[in-house]
Amino acid sequence: MPAGANDARGRVAELHAIREQVRRGPSERATEAQRAKGKLTARERIELLLDEGSFNEVEPLRRHRATGFGLEAKKPYTDGVITGWGTVHGRTVFTYAHDFRIFGGALGEAHATKIHKIMDMAIQAGAPLVSLNDGAGARIQEGVSALAGYGGIFQRNTKASGVIPQISVMLGPCAGGAAYSPALTDFVFMVRETSQMFITGPDVVRAVTGEEITQNGLGGADVHAETSGVAHFAYDDEATCLEEVRYLLSLLPANNRENPPTVPCEDPADRSGDALLDLVPADGNRPYDMRKVIEEIVDDGEFLEVHERWATNIICALTRLDGRVVGIIANQPQSLAGVLDIEASEKAARFVQMCDAFNIPIVTFLDVPGFLPGVDQEHGGIIRHGAKLLYAYCNATVPRISLVLRKAYGGAYIVMDSQSIGADLTYAWPTNEIAVMGAEGAANVIFRKQIAEADDSEAMRVRMVKEYKSELMHPYYAAERGLVDDVIDPAETRHTLIRALEMLRTKHADLPARKHGNPPQ
C-alpha cells in the first residue's frame, strides 16, 4: 500500500521535505540578494569553516513565538541563525552563523536563545566557538526581549573568556551594542567591503557631529585593522578569511586545560641560522625587518602575525618551534625604531594574556630604545597603557624566554619581559646593549660639567661616550651580573630556544590566591 500522510513513512517524508526547506532557506530571491552583495550564505560559510560533512545542526526547526507588527505571519525555520558543531582538522569546534536572508540576521528572543545554547555547549564541552556574524542588530519588533538576548551573549562571552578560544568572523554589518560581543572575544576577522562594525552609524554621526563618512570609512575592515585595532585580521574575500580561521584554530588548544596541538617537524631543531649575522646590523641606529629574523628562527619560516597592520612597531605572532606552538613578541626596528607606545603596549599586553590563558609559551625578542616621548603620549596615558604590558608579563605563568638582539634601554627593557619581572630564561646576542639609556644621552647627563668646561667640548663628549660604553654597555655587562643567563651566537638561536622550551615544558607556577587582579586600564 502506498504510504499515507499519517503513517511512519509519510511522516518521514514530511520530515525530509521540511529539512530540505530549512536547507534551502527562505527563498531563491533572498539568496540571490545575498550573493549580489558579494556574500555567501550562512550554510556556505559553515561548509568552508568546518571539515567536509562534519556539521551537526542544533535546533534547525526553531521558530519565534513573537506577535505583532506582522511577525505572527512570518515564522521561518532557524529564526535567522544556524547553530551547531563540527570539526576543524578533526577537532571539535562549535559555531553559529547569522542568516541575513531571514529578518536581516536580526536578533530576536528565539534567535538569541539558540546562540545562548550553543555557547553553553561549547563551554561545557571545552571546545572553541566561532561566530559568523552577518546581522542587522536587535529585532526592533521584539523590543526589549531582543536587547536582553544580547545581554545573555555578552555574559557568556565573558564566562568563556580564557576558558575556550572565541573567534568572531565579521561577514556583514554589526552595529550598536551587537559590536560588543566580537570585542569580548579573543580574535576578530573581517572581510573588506562587506563587513563593518560601529556603535553609531554614519547617519547618526552626521546628525550629531555633521561629519560625512561612509560605512566602510567609519567601521570597515581596513579601519579596524589599521586604525582602531578592533580587527586582528582583514581579508579580501570570505573563502580566504575562513581558511585563515581554520589555520588559527590549528595553533590553539581546545580549551585552557589542554596544550596547543603539536605537529611533526621536518625542520631540524639544530639548524644553524647563519643568515641572522647579516640580517641584524651591529649598529643600533640602523633599521632592519624583525619579520625576517623570526622567519629564520621558526619552523619552516612560517608564522601567523596578529594585528599585523596596527601598532606596527611591535610584532605579535603565533608560530611553532620544533612542532610546538609558541607566541612571539618582538620590537620592529623598521617602524618607529621599535619603540613602545600606547598602542604597541596594548597590542602586546592582550597577546601575552591570550598566550598565558591558553598555555602558549612566550618568546620575546628585544630591540627597544625606550618608550616613545611626547606630549600626546603622556596625555594619552602612556603610563597606564605601558603598565598593562608590564602587568600582563608579570601575571603570566607559561614558559617565558627573552632574547636581547641589540638595544634594551630603560623602562622598556624592564617591561619587555626582563629577568627581573619573571622571565624564566634571558639570552642575549653579542650585539646587545642593555642600559638605562643610550650612551650619548647618558654621557651628556653624567659628564655634563666636564663636557661644558672642556676646551674642546665635542672631543670630550665623544671620549665620555666611549668611556660609558666600555664601562656599562659592553655585551657581557648584564651577563656578568646574572641579569642575562647567557650570551649566545646568533646562529645558535633556534637550537637554544628549542632546548630551553623543552626544559620548561613541565613548568608549573601558581599565582597568589585571589578572586582576580586589578590590572591597569
Angle, alpha carbons 125-511-478 (nearest 5°): 125
User: Which has the closest alpha carbon to 310: 389, 382, 231?
Assistant: 231
- Predicted confidence (pLDDT) at residue 233 exceeds the cutoff of 60: yes
Tell me: pLDDT of 303 over 60: yes
Considering the candidates 104, 126, 152, 177, report the single residue annotated as catalytic. 177
Of 7-11, 310-314, 349-353, 457-461, the range with the lowest mean pLDDT is 457-461
Give residue 443's pLDDT. 67
Q: What is the pLDDT of residue 439?
A: 67
pLDDT band at 106 (very low <50, low <70, confident <90, very high): confident
**Closest Cα to residue 188, out of 310, 104, 50?**
310
Assess whether pLDDT exceeds 80 at residue 401: yes
The mean pLDDT value for 410-430 works out to 95
* pLDDT digits 0-9 by tens, 28-46: 888 899 999 999 999 999 9
Between β-strands 425-428 and 91-98, what pairing exists: parallel, antiparallel or unpaired? unpaired
Q: Let me know if residue 384 belongs to a domain.
A: yes
pLDDT at 141: 78
Q: What is the pLDDT of residue 169?
A: 98
Here the cell at position 391 is 602587568
Residue 244: inside a domain, yes or no? yes
333 shares a domain with 235: no
The pLDDT assigned to 4 comes to 53
Which of 126, 152, 176, 273 is catalytic? The answer is 176
Statement: residue 397 has pLDDT above 80: yes
User: For residue 93, is pLDDT > 50?
Assistant: yes
The one-letter amino acid code at 153 reads I
Angle of helix 439-446 relative to helix 457-472, nearest 10 degrees? 110
Is 520 part of any domain?
no
217 and 326 part of one domain: no
Asked if the structure places residue 485 within a domain, the reply is yes
- Better-scored residue on pLDDT, 143 or 387: 387
Question: How confident is the model over 114-121, as a mean pLDDT?
Answer: 97
Do 99 and 160 belong together in one domain? yes
- How far is 223 from 219, CA to CA, in rounded Å? 6
Distance CA 131, CA 184 (A): 12
In a 3-state reduction of DSSP, which class is residue 71? helix
Domain assignment of residue 18, yes or no? no
Residue 32 lies in a domain: no
Mean pLDDT of 369-397: 96
The model's pLDDT over 455-484, given as tens digits with 9 standing for 90+, comes to: 788 887 778 777 777 776 778 888 888 889
Q: Is 10 a catalytic residue?
A: no
Give a yes or no: residue 138 inside a domain: yes
Cβ–Cβ < 8 Å for 290, 365: yes
- For the chain, the average pLDDT equals 92
Known catalytic membership, residue 30: no
Is residue 341 in some structural domain? yes
Domain range for 370 is 275-432+475-504
205 and 316 co-located in one domain: no
Q: Is 406 helix (H, G, I), strand (E, B) or coil?
A: strand
Claim to verify: residue 296 and residue 160 sit in the same structural domain:
no
Residue 4 known to be catalytic: no
Query: What are the two backbone dihedrals, phi and then psi, of residue 95, each rounded to the nearest 5 degrees?
Result: -150, 155
**pLDDT tens column, 280-289:** 999 888 999 9
Whether residue 199 has pLDDT greater than 70 = yes
pLDDT at 3 over 60: no
pLDDT at 262 over 60: yes
Q: For residues 54 and 119, state if they share a domain.
A: yes
In the predicted model, is pLDDT for residue 194 greater than 50?
A: yes
Do 317 and 247 fall within a single domain?
A: no
Cβ atoms 116, 131 nearer than 8 A: no
Q: 0.85 exceeded by the pTM?
A: yes
- Report the 3 state secondary structure along 452-511: HHCCCHHHHHHHHHHHHHHHHCCCCHHHHCCCCCEECCHHHHHHHHHHHHHHHCCCCCCC
DSSP 26-63: S-HHHHHHHHHTT---HHHHHHHHSPTT--EEE-TT--
- Give me Rg for the CA atoms of the chain: 27
Is residue 151 annotated as a catalytic residue, yes or no? no
User: Are residues 214 and 149 both part of a single domain?
Assistant: yes
**Mind listing the pLDDT tens digit for each residue in 352-379?**
999 999 999 999 999 999 999 999 999 9
Question: In the predicted model, what is the mean pLDDT of residues 240-251?
Answer: 98
pLDDT digits (tens, 9 = 90+) for 475-508: 888 888 888 999 999 999 999 999 999 999 999 9
| Catalytic, out of 412, 423, 435, 442 | 412
Task: Tell me how many domains the chain contains.
Answer: 3
CATH number of the CATH domain containing 351: 3.90.226.10
Determine which one of 411, 422, 441, 491 is catalytic: 411
Same domain, 419 and 340: yes
Task: Report which listed range, 33-37, 109-113, 255-259, 461-465, is most confident.
Answer: 255-259
The answer to whether residues 365 and 454 belong to one domain is: no
Q: Are residues 224 and 356 part of one domain? A: no
Task: Give the per-residue pLDDT at 217.
Answer: 94
| pLDDT for residue 1 | 41
CA pseudo-torsion sign 406, 409, 415, 420: positive
User: Closest by alpha carbon to 180, among 160, 205, 216, 153?
Assistant: 153
Q: Which residue, 202, 217, 251, sits at the end of a domain? A: 251
Q: Which helix (H) or strand (E) holds 513?
A: none
pLDDT at 78: 85
Q: Are residues 212 and 279 in the same domain?
A: no
Which of these ranges, 7-16, 179-188, 273-282, 443-452, has the smallest mean pLDDT?
443-452
Q: What is the pLDDT of residues 144-153, one digit of tens each?
A: 887 888 999 9
- The pLDDT of residue 166 is above 50: yes
- Domain boundary among the residues 251, 266, 297 is at 251
SS3 425: strand
